[in-house]
Structure 1
Amino acid sequence: MNATIATMTTIRGACKRWTVIAGAFLLASCGGSIDSNTAVPASIMQVMQKPAYKSASWSMLVVDLESGQVIYDLDSNSQMFIASVRKVFSTGNALNALGAQHKFVTPVYRQGSVAPNGTLNGNLILVASGDLTMGGRANPDGTIALTDFDHNEANSLGNAVLSAPDPLAGYNALAAQVAAAGITTINGNVVIDDRLFEPFNFRGEFDVRPIFVNDDLVDVTLSQSAEGAAVPFDWRPKSAAFSVQSTLKTGSATSTLAIGLDPEPPQCIGAPNCVATVSGTVPTGYVPILTNAYPLIRTFRVSEPSNYARTIFIEALARSGVTVTAAPVAANPAQLLPAKGSYSSAQQVAQLTSAPYAQHVRYVNKISYNIGADVTLMQFGLAHNGSTTMAGSLAAEQSELSTVFNISPAQYHFIDGSGGGETTANGKAVVAMLRGMSAKPAFTPYFNSMPVLGVDGSLATVTNFEADSTLAGARGQVHAKTGTYVAENPAAPGMPLLKGQALAGYIDAKSGRRIVFFLTVNNVPITGIPDVLTVFQDEGTIAAMLWKMQ
């Protein structure tokens, strides 16, 4: 077939045209020549040119991992919104700096002497290490428990599946060690030392600190009930620091799903009687999104992590038989902390050791844990040059990308470690990072941390490609990071716009070779989450096509 598409394409960048030769779409700038070596196959272009993408912009770069040969190149020099694909940079650098086997140790120290009757006349201090899970996601085999629909995105996606381990397990273990050290009463206070790095604001919600309980979330579990009845509910963790009440009811089959969380985020954590309310209606016969079954999950943000962790630890001590004379619900008394670095090993009474760092990176990438990625960047900054601020860690990363991976700052715009807001990069920068990581000692855990097409993580449910039997073999052969950025559509106020849906990683192709790829579409008008999931499926199909072709 010989034809020329005369209309302007929606590819971001300069004027371009597509020419169809022997069934392949070949890209050329207006007035330029056609580069047949990087032609984008017609089957892929048919996906990119669906009506839903008529006003959107695509970019793609596909490279042979070993040789660096460019296979397909679609506008790879243009800065595009990449959202959480940004995590391939932050997790890769941190994994290189700390090592896959690094473990975080969270110690507990006593200040003052312990009387023969077990009374500590002084304070007990838990020194936060930046351990993302604090034992709250620990599987029996030492791995970090994950689900395909993580609670960190429950409110934005509309549901989640909670991990099975006790979110308070680490605090209980520390408390048991304190009791085993002979302390029965703390005649003083309990303090969280959260000075590892400077607090940073997470997307306008709260200030992140290096101490965590249940990922800084309180999970609310909603069950099914009959029309007109109250919706049964529960929450975890249970603590005097924060509780939940509900007026949520089951409405008629024609009612609207409307679940209100008030206040969200709660600002009262650290004060007595901190309570939030779940309200609204759930239609009779409603089938929860994502899981197609109850329970339905919503979350409240723990807006004061140190205050919350202090209460949780005091309550864990009580369960271990240790009495604390100080009020359990109060602001964390940071003014009682000694000088940084002044702790003595002789004063240590407990410690919690994390899973290996490879597990933390797996957690961040598989479920696209945003706070975890931001903390990962801070961990890199600390390891790289002792940086304790977000700005300092970003600067340290910029130096690393330039000197180690030969990636210029002009190729990306990062504002945090997770891909928030107007995060951009071009395809060449992303592919350079992915290829560069393949030569690092930590490559295997890095590779294994990526979601797998049709198997796990954020790609677990991307399976529509299997409708084509010739693509079904791609299941399990694509290890890639996803990224989603949704904002208000300026052309249609009140409506959402998928500003970026990106996918990047590795494909073990049908031919036997491994390829590296970057793919993103920007500025897709949508009406809601179902449209985002459709774009997810289309990008998964393109990845499966790449598996088949190469």
Structure 2
Amino acid sequence: MRPIDRPLRTWAAALTTAVVTFVAVAAAGPAAAGGPHDDLGAEIAAIMAKPVYQHAQWGLLEVDDSTGRVVHSLYPDQFFIPGSTAKLISVSGTWHTLGGDHRFTTPVQALGQRSGTTLDGSLALVAQGDLTMGGRTAPDGSVSYTPIDHTYANDVPGATLTPEDPLAGLNEIAGQVRGSGITRVNGDVVIDNRLFTSFPELDPSPDPIIVNDNVIDLLTTATAPGQPAQLSWRPQVAPYQVESTVRTVAAGGTTDIAVSASPDGTRITLSGTIAADAPPTLRISGVQDPAAFGRTALIEALARAGVTVTAPPVGPNPSGLLPASYDGTPRVAAYVSPVYAEYAKLILKVSHNLGANLGICLMAVAAGSSQCADGFPVLTGFLRQAGIDPTQAQLLDGRGGNPVDRVTPRIESELLHYWQGTPEATRFRLALPILGVDGLLAFVCEGCPSCPGKGKVWAKTGTVAGFDALNDRLAVGADTISGYLDAGHGRLHTFFLAVNGAYSEDIDGVIDIGNDLARIAGLLQEQAEARQGA
């Protein structure tokens, strides 16, 4: 067996925070009757009998949502590592707590006295935990996403950017300030990020102010072999500076681009190579101080709108200027977000880790707390109200990446059933990735003349993997998929499918495991539809 090199070790470690995109599934016809594994059919049984699953544990629960009849069941009450299917729980709790039509209103208050067009004082942007601050809002009010989100660019090949300006919300706020009649601020700009305080187990850690997911996008484009590659980056906010030593190599060569940054994150360096025939390659670098970053970005936006701020744009966020209360202070601007259901769709379609963790904090805020950990009792209360036993899950984050996280197949099935009894049933189902169509399941059917379940499976996926040094290979702690199957004639089946404890010799093998689960989901859908037609 060939050794697993350092890049593979790094990639494997990143899988606990990343996702694996399923790029293809083999063609498959309707499953035959009989076979092991709860009479799942010969094709599914053959998949589960592959050598990579020799020591693995499968879990499955498929239920006819209309009748409650259990169609398939394998260890429905046993704990499994959920991966990102845990987002079904955290997003559901946040959606229920806030409401699908909730909008975040981020105000800017004027602190001081007005004298004509001059404010003798400061402006305070009061952050409200808006996930995108307008940076993904399309003209129709929806929130844009791509199959592989930019937040995964350092871990998963093929990440791309949405077309919107990540500073759009701040630019709108700046225009409103100018529209209020203010052209000069004899003072400062401060970001009020006192809404909540996160805790270490939420990784990535949410902040009340989020601009471009608090990352810098770095896009490298190949030129002629032997020449420096072309670099573009966004958002361009002082004092962030980017330097690239990436060179273009011959077509078919290696594309390997590394990112490093200074301790404060403001000096970013890209190094490595890009093949002449490679598509533009995206990398990201994290923003270390979201409040200071947001302050500078807003001051620069104000300048573009024709508002002068006398304080220097670069520097720490002057939180000492914040008042105990905004009573009596005029509001001079406010950015209003898209509805939360659009944010939920973003989180579920692309497995947005920051957004899932943010939901825990937003539930705490809804309960009157500024401590993110207080969101978990709210989530517990939601589950109980929905008639679901919360002890069927263990969670210490919102995204499904903490070692503590566990779920039973039953809790996810019951949660999916809960949504079907609400007015939000269709909107919730369509927020999930659709097999062969969009989100993290968009590429499942590529290159396949026949793709079971295409367009008829709505499901969240999850992957947890790491490097197994003992056996010099990848340990796939979990691969999961959970959602709805179109059973025909307007009926749906809920399902949760997991395999814990598989292994892979390389990255392609991990992708193959994801393909196996997607293929099984498609076969289950075909079986369900065939039964309805029988």
Q: Give TM-score, length-normalised by structure 2.
A: 0.88
2:461 maps to 1:461? no
1:438 equivalent in alignment to 2:420: yes
Who is 1:10 aligned against? none
Is the 2:202–2:397 Cα contact (8 Å) retained in structure 1? no
Distance 1:484 1:390 in 2: 25
Mapped partners of 1:465, 1:254: distance in 2: 21
Aligned partner of 1:489 among 468, 471, 484: 468
Question: Is the partner of 1:535 in helix, strand or coil?
Answer: helix
Measured in 2, the distance between the counterparts of 1:525 and 1:315 equals: 50
| 1:173 aligned onto 2:172 | yes
Deviations 1:255-313 (A, max 9, x none): 643322112xx5425xxxx311001223454x4xxxxxx21100111121111111100
CA distance in 1: counterparts of 2:180 and 2:201, whole angstroms: 37
* Residue 329 of structure 2 corresponds to residue 361 of structure 1: no
- Residue in 1 that maps onto 2:455: 476
Query: What is the CA distance between 1:465 and its match in structure 2?
Result: 9.6
Give the direction of change, closer, same or farther, for the CA distance of 1:258–1:482 in structure 2 (3 Å limit): same
Residue 343 of structure 1 deviates from its aligned partner by 1.3
1:178-189 matches, within 5 Å, as 178-189=177-188
Counterpart position of 1:13: none
Q: Which residue of 2 is the match for residue 152 of structure 1?
A: 151
Cα-Cα RMSD = 2.0
Question: In the alignment, is the contact (CA less than 8 A) between 1:82 and 1:424 conserved in 2?
Answer: yes
The within-5 A match list for 1:10-21 is none
Cα separation, partners in 2 of 1:217 and 1:527, compared to 1, 3 Å: farther
Alpha carbons 1:126, 1:191 under 8 Å: kept = yes
Aligned partners of 1:349, 1:326: CA distance in 2, in Å? Answer: 19
- Contact 1:149–1:159 under 8 Å retained in 2: yes
Letter in 2 for 1:249: R
Partner in structure 1 of residue 269 of structure 2: 277
Task: Specify the SS of the correspondent of 2:35.
Answer: strand
**Residue 453 of structure 1 contacts residue 479 of structure 1 at CA under 8 Å; is this kept in 2?**
yes
Offset at 1:440?
A: 2.3
Instruction: State the partner residue of 1:239.
Output: 237
For 2:294, which of 293, 309, 316 is the aligned residue? 309
Deviation (angstroms), 1:202: 6.7
1:292-307 equivalent positions in 2, closer than 5 A: 294-307=279-292
Q: Is the CA contact 2:206–2:357 (under 8 Å) kept in the aligned structure 1?
A: no
* More moved, 521-530 vs 231-240: 521-530
The match for 1:376 is 359
2:396 corresponds in structure 1 to 415
Per-residue CA deviations over 1:470-525 (Å, capped at 9, x if unaligned) read x3xx21111111111122225335x4322111100011124652100001112222
| Letter in structure 1 aligned against 2:475 | L
8 A Cα contact 1:202 1:371, kept in partner: no
Q: CA-to-partner distance for each residue in 1:391-418, whole Å, 9 max, x for gaps?
A: 2112321232234332232x22211011
| Partner in structure 1 of residue 62 of structure 2 | 62
The one-letter code matched in structure 2 to 1:96 is H
Counterpart CA distance in 2 for 1:159 and 1:496 is 21
Match of 1:543 in 2: 521
Paired amino acid for 2:243: Q
User: How far apart, CA to CA, are the structure 1 residues paired with 2:201 and 2:206?
Assistant: 6
Say if 2:429 is the partner of 1:447: yes
- Stretch of structure 1 that moved more, 398-407 or 351-360: 398-407
In structure 2, how many angstroms separate the alpha carbons of the residues matched to 1:506 and 1:434? 8
For the residue of structure 1 that corresponds to 2:153, the secondary structure is: helix
User: C-alpha separation between the residues in 1 aligned to 2:103 and 2:390?
Assistant: 32
Deviations 1:86-127 (A, max 9, x none): 0111111211121111111000001001112x2211110000
SS state of the match for residue 338, structure 2?
A: coil
Corresponding residue number in structure 2 for 1:268:
264
Between the aligned partners of 1:257 and 1:421, the Cα distance in structure 2 is 31
Q: TM-score, normalised by structure 1?
A: 0.86
Give 1:380 shift: 2.3
The answer to whether the 8 Å contact 2:476/2:501 transfers is yes
| Residue aligned with 1:112, SS | strand
Per-residue deviation, residues 451-472 of structure 1 (Å, max 9, x unmatched)? 1010000110111695447x3x
Q: 1:386 to 1:529 in 2, by over 3 A?
A: farther
Which position in structure 2 is the counterpart of 1:12?
none
| Structure 1 counterpart of 2:97 | 97
Q: For the residues of structure 2 that align with 1:527 and 1:195, how far apart are their CA atoms?
A: 47
2:305 aligned with 1:326: no
Quote the Cα distance in structure 1 between the aligned partners of 2:36 and 2:328. 67
Mapped partners of 1:523, 1:255: distance in 2: 35
Size of the alignment, in residue pairs?
496
1:250/1:284 contact within 8 Å kept: yes
- Match 1:395 to one of 373, 377, 392: 377
CA 1:345/1:61 → structure 2, altered by over 3 Å: closer, same or farther?
A: farther
Aligned to 1:350: 333
Q: What are the within-5 Å matches in structure 2 for residues 129-140 of structure 1?
A: 129-140=128-139
Indicate how the Cα distance of structure 1 residues 528 and 201 shifts in structure 2: closer, same or farther if over 3 A, else same.
Answer: farther
- How many percent identity over aligned positions? 36
CA contact (8 A) 2:202 2:398 kept: no
Q: Which residue is equivalent to 1:33?
A: none
Q: Where do 1:204-243 residues align within 5 Å?
A: 207-243=205-241
By how many angstroms is 1:528 displaced?
4.3
What residue is the counterpart of 2:486 in the other structure?
508
- Cα deviation, residue 254, structure 1: 7.7
8 A Cα contact 1:186 1:323, kept in partner: yes
Q: Which has the higher contact order (CA 8 A, sep 6+)?
A: 2
- Partner secondary structure for residue 312 of structure 2: coil
Alpha-carbon distance in 2 for matches of 1:535, 1:183? 58
Question: Are residues 153 and 63 of structure 1, via their aligned partners in 2, closer, same or farther at CA, if it must alter by over 3 Å?
Answer: same
Instruction: Quote the Cα distance in structure 2 between the aligned partners of 1:79 and 1:254.
Output: 45
Distance change >3 Å, CA 540–CA 226, structure 1 → 2 = same
Distance 2:211 2:395 in 1: 27
Residues of 1 paired with 2:34 and 2:311: CA distance?
Answer: 73
Which SS does the other structure have where 1:111 is aligned?
strand
Q: Please tell me whether the aligned partners of residues 95 and 446 of structure 1 are also in contact (alpha carbons under 8 angstroms).
A: no
Q: Which amino acid letter does the alignment assign opposite residue 171 of structure 1?
A: L
Report if the CA contact (8 A) 2:153-2:282 is conserved: yes
User: Does the CA-based 8 Å contact 2:110-2:124 persist in structure 1?
Assistant: yes
Report if the CA contact (8 A) 2:224-2:276 is conserved. Answer: yes
Alignment-mate amino acid for residue 419 of structure 1: G
Q: Give the conservation status (yes or no) of the 8 Å contact 2:198–2:373.
A: no
Q: Does 1:88 find its partner at 2:105?
A: no
Q: Give the whole-Å Cα distance in 1 for the aligned partners of 2:231 and 2:485.
A: 43
Q: CA-to-partner distance for each residue in 1:4-59, whole Å, 9 max, x for gaps?
A: xxxxxxxxxxxxxxxxxx952355xxxxxxxxxx5322221111112332232211
Q: d(CA) in 2 for partners of 1:362 and 1:308? A: 27
In the other structure, the counterpart of 1:46 is 46
